[in-house]
Structure formats: structure tokens, C-alpha cells
């Protein structure tokens, strides 16, 4: 399972980029070669075969992945930084700003192939967008995003985690999308899922490397709130690699969550299904979600569909495109929010990638009259640095 870090989740460049990467490896010779048995980015423990194919694994040609060893212990450090210039047209006004979109740093320690610990810190605003209160007004603050212990008592066939654990679906979507620097996936941005939660989960590999099944028990309040009711979220996820011999990067996903949120125990249930393909040069996916309980309203049914495509080009360029469709209340079928994203990326040697993209958010039906208006057109120039 993969914590989705965009800088970490970047696919290794090939073709024209290889000479530059080899030069970077020579200059950064103290970066350790990963053992023949691939390991999890999060804790250094063994991956199952299907996850190993579908998620990016650090290697000597992956700058920013620092690994070493002290006796039976292995240690890893990785992170990313996103800097953004945004020019946006919103409510008939043109607005532009510089922002530090994210700093994220993860460290892990593993003992042989039995146990590991992960601590991940990232940055957030201390108050919501356009708010007039918060810590020091609206400061950028560090927070614990993930903090968990993991054990794999039976090689990669069984994994158990406890603490602030990552979501069971988001990391696969982010690994396939590969451009977290542009912004959160539609699943996260539109409030269907959060990056993690306090709780525990167990994951078991299916026979014949066909995939895996996982169960998670958590508070349900995500990483921004403590538990507010006695209910717990139970999530089950199934991943299947139908073409494991020819295309192990292709995974089918099915997820069900029975949960609640808030002091009133409002329903917060999810059913999701779709596919992701996370190849080195090509990534694509589509995930549909039905939600009972949305934005804290427990009796509201909402629906969501996100699709994306990215492709590596010669000379270290890449194209990306994504569409997110949200029905915030399915009883109003014409009330639809559409988000369109398209852009071009260029990878510099070793540590940086530059991205230019357009993002448009368009309302339809009754959402067109919503105040403040949803409509927004934005042009983004971004730099992604792998630490």
C-alpha cells in the first residue's frame, strides 16, 4: 500500500532522461541501492507482487529517496515541496497569488522484514479559505499526516497497521495520476475521502498474486478532527490484478465504507469502484463513488466520477488531463459540478519538475445560481521539488 506523495509517486523518466538520471546518481553516490526484494515506501517492509508493479518503488535512479542501514535496521527519508503561482478568474474578478502548496516529509525505520514505523509531516493552513480567524491569522502550520506502526509477520502475505493510517484507496489513485503537485485527486478534493484516519487495518494477499483484501477500523473523523461520536468506520477494500502476467499495473478496485461523522453521528457511507493503471510512461484510471451522507448531511445521497490520463513524452515532457464530475445531491440530477484539468509537465534532472496547467470549475443546473459562485478558471505554474 502506498502513501501518495506526488514527488515520491513520480514515475521514473526513461529515454532521453536516463543519461541525466545516471549522472545524478553518480553525483549522489551515497544514496543506497535498494535490495533485490522491493520494499514499501512507507515502512521499508515487503510489497506484494501486484502492489510492487502498480506503485512506484525507489531505486538508485530515484533522487530524493534516501535509504541506509544500521545493523538489522533499515532507514528511509523522502519528501516533496510544491510551489505554485495561480492566476484565477472568479466572480468576475482576476486574482493572482504565490503559494506554498505543500511541504511533506516522511521517515521510516524497519527491522528486517518484520516490523516498521512511519512518521509523515506535512503543512496545512490554520484556517479555511477566505477565513478571518485561525492561528496567527492564517498561518502555514505543520501537522502529523500519518504516524503508524506496521508488521508483516508472514512476508508480504499479511500486513497489520495501527495509528494514523493512510486511506485504502487514495494512494492508488494518486500513484496512477502521478501529478499530486497540481492538486488533490478529485476523491479528496470533493470531500469523498480523506488521506488518513486514526485506527488500524489488516491487509491479506489473495492466492496466486491476484490482488489483496483489506479491512480498516477507524474513528471516521479523518486527520483534522478527534473522535466526536461512539461510532466507528468500517471499511473493506478489494484489489484485483486481472492481467497480472501481461499488465500487473492494471488494478480493479472495490470499496465499501460504513461510517458516521460528527457529534450527531450523521451517516458517512461510501461505495466505490473503478480501475487504475500506473505504468512508467502511461497512467490512467476511473473511479465512481456513491455516498450516503455528504458534507455532514447524513440523509443526502451524492455521486462522484473522476477520470484521468497522463502520458510521458520524449525529452522529459509529459501530458496530463483529468475530469471530476460531482452530483452533490442526486435528487437534483441537473445540479452538477464539473472540473476539467489539463496541462504539460517537464522534468528537470534529479530533483525538480515544472508544470503548467489549466483548471476550470463549471456548475450546471441549480448550482449555477449558488452564492458564492462556483465558476472558476485558473492558470497554474508550479514547481515540484523532491527533497
What confidence score (pLDDT) does residue 142 get? Answer: 92
User: What torsion do the CA atoms of 275, 221, 290, 214 make, to the nearest 10 degrees?
Assistant: 40
In total, how many domains does the chain have?
1
What confidence score (pLDDT) does residue 64 get? Answer: 56
Q: Give the largest Cα separation in the chain, rounded.
A: 64
3-state helix, strand, coil in the chain (%, to 5): 15, 55, 35
Q: Give residue-wise pLDDT tens across range 62-93.
A: 445 677 888 899 888 888 899 999 999 988 89
In a domain, 222, yes or no: yes
Q: Average pLDDT for residues 155-182, to the nearest whole number?
A: 91
Question: At CA 222, angle to CA 217 and CA 227, rounded to 5?
Answer: 75
**Confidence grade of residue 306 (pLDDT, cut at 50, 70, 90):** very high
**CA 118 to each of CA 49, 58, 123, 175: distance values in angstroms, whole numbers, following the listed order:** 22, 16, 17, 19
Pick the residue with more confidence: 124 or 66?
124
What confidence score (pLDDT) does residue 281 get? Answer: 87
Among 262, 255, 175, smallest CA distance to 224 is for 262
What confidence score (pLDDT) does residue 32 get? Answer: 31
Q: Give residue-wise pLDDT tens across range 307-317.
A: 999 999 999 99
In a domain, 1, yes or no: no
Cα distance between residue 200 and residue 16, in whole Å: 43
Pick the residue with more confidence: 100 or 34?
100
In a domain, 48, yes or no: yes
Backbone angles phi, psi at 222, to 5 degrees: 75, -160
Q: Which CATH number goes with the domain that contains 93?
A: 2.40.160.10
What 8-state DSSP symbol labels residue 190? T
**Which grid cell sits at 331?**
435528487
Among 217, 236, 237, 294, smallest CA distance to 262 is for 294
Cα distance between residue 376 and residue 95, in whole Å: 11
Q: Which residues contact 284 (CB under 8 A, 6 or more apart)?
A: 176, 276, 277, 307, 308, 309, 310
What confidence score (pLDDT) does residue 55 get? Answer: 52
The per-residue pLDDT of the chain, averaged, comes to 83
**Does position 39 have pLDDT exceeding 80, yes or no?**
no
What confidence score (pLDDT) does residue 10 get? Answer: 37
What is the helix (H) or strand (E) element at residue 6, kind and residue range?
Answer: helix 6-9
**Does position 2 have pLDDT exceeding 90, yes or no?**
no
What confidence score (pLDDT) does residue 61 get? Answer: 42
**Does position 260 have pLDDT exceeding 50, yes or no?**
yes
Percent over 70 (pLDDT), the chain: 82
**Confidence grade of residue 263 (pLDDT, cut at 50, 70, 90):** confident
**Quick check: 262 and 297 in contact, CB under 8 A?**
no
By three-state DSSP, how is residue 50 classified? helix
Pick the residue with more confidence: 108 or 155?
108
**Does position 171 have pLDDT exceeding 60, yes or no?**
yes
What confidence score (pLDDT) does residue 129 get? Answer: 65
Q: Average pLDDT for residues 104-128, to the nearest whole number?
A: 88
What confidence score (pLDDT) does residue 217 get? Answer: 97
Q: Give residue-wise pLDDT tens across range 324-361.
A: 999 999 999 899 999 999 999 999 877 889 999 999 99
Backbone angles phi, psi at 271, to 5 degrees: -130, 120
For the chain, what's the residue count? 387
What confidence score (pLDDT) does residue 155 get? Answer: 78
What confidence score (pLDDT) does residue 57 get? Answer: 53
Q: Give residue-wise pLDDT tens across range 181-194.
A: 999 999 999 999 99
Site of grid cell 468506520: 233
What confidence score (pLDDT) does residue 48 get? Answer: 55
**Quick check: 295 and 261 in contact, CB under 8 A?**
no
Cα distance between residue 150 and residue 127, in whole Å: 32
Q: Average pLDDT for residues 6-31, to the nearest whole number?
A: 38
**CA 322 to each of CA 96, 179, 251, 319: distance values in angstroms, whole numbers, following the listed order:** 23, 10, 19, 11
**Parent domain of 157:** 6-386
Q: Give residue-wise pLDDT tens across range 200-240.
A: 999 998 887 788 899 999 999 998 888 988 899 999 999 99
Amino acid at each position: 500500500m502506498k502513501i501518495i506523495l506526488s514527488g515520491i509517486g513520480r514515475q521514473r523518466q526513461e529515454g532521453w532522461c536516463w543519461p541525466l538520471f545516471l549522472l545524478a546518481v553518480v553525483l549522489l553516490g551515497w544514496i543506497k541501492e535498494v535490495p533485490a526484494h522491493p520494499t514499501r515506501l512507507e515502512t521499508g517492509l515487503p510489497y506484494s507482487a501486484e502492489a510492487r508493479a502498480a506503485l512506484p518503488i525507489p531505486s538508485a535512479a530515484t533522487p530524493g529517496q534516501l535509504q541506509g542501514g544500521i545493523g538489522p535496521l533499515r532507514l528511509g527519508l523522502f519528501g516533496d515541496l510544491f510551489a505554485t503561482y495561480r492566476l484565477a478568474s472568479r466572480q468576475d474578478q482576476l486574482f493572482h497569488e504565490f503559494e506554498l502548496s505543500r511541504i511533506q516529509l516522511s521517515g521510516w525505520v524497519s527491522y528486517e522484514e518484520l516490523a516498521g514505523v512511519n512518521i509523515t509531516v506535512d503543512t496545512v493552513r490554520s484556517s479555511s479559505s477566505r477565513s478571518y480567524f485561525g492561528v496567527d491569522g492564517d498561518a502555514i502550520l505543520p501537522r502529523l499526516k500519518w504516524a503508524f506502526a506496521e508488521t508483516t509477520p508472514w512476508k508480504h502475505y499479511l500486513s497489520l497497521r495501527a495509528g494514523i493510517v493512510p486511506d485504502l484507496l487514495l494512494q492508488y489513485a494518486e500513484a496512477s495520476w502521478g501529478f499530486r503537485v497540481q492538486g488533490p485527486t478529485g476523491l479528496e478534493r470533493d470531500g469523498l475521502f480523506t488521506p488518513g484516519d486514526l485506527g488500524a487495518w489488516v491487509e491479506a494477499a489473495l492466492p496466486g498474486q491476484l490482488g489483496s483484501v483489506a479491512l480498516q477500523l477507524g474513528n471516521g473523523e479523518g486527520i483534522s478532527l478527534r473522535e466526536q461520536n461512539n461510532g466507528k468506520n468500517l471499511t473493506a477494500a478489494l484489489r484485483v490484478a486481472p492481467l497480472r502476467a501481461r499488465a500487473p499495473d492494471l488494478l480493479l478496485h472495490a470499496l465499501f465504507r460504513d461510517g458516521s461523522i460528527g457529534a450527531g453521528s450523521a451517516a458517512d457511507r461510501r461505495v466505490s469502484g473503478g480501475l487504475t493503471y500506473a505504468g512508467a510512461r502511461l497512467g490512467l484510471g476511473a473511479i465512481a463513488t456513491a455516498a450516503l451522507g455528504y458534507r455532514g448531511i447524513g440523509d443526502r445521497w451524492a455521486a462522484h466520477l473522476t477520470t484521468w490520463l497522463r502520458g510521458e513524452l520524449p525529452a522529459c515532457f509529459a501530458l496530463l488531463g483529468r475530469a471530476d464530475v460531482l452530483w452533490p445531491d442526486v435528487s437534483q440530477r441537473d445540479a452538477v459540478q464539473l472540473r476539467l484539468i489539463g496541462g504539460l509537465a517537464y522534468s528537470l534532472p534529479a530533483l525538480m519538475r515544472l508544470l503548467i496547467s489549466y483548471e476550470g470549475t463549471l456548475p450546471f443546473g441549480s448550482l449555477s445560481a449558488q452564492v458564492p459562485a462556483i465558476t472558476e478558471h485558473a492558470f497554474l505554474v508550479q514547481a515540484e521539488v523532491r527533497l
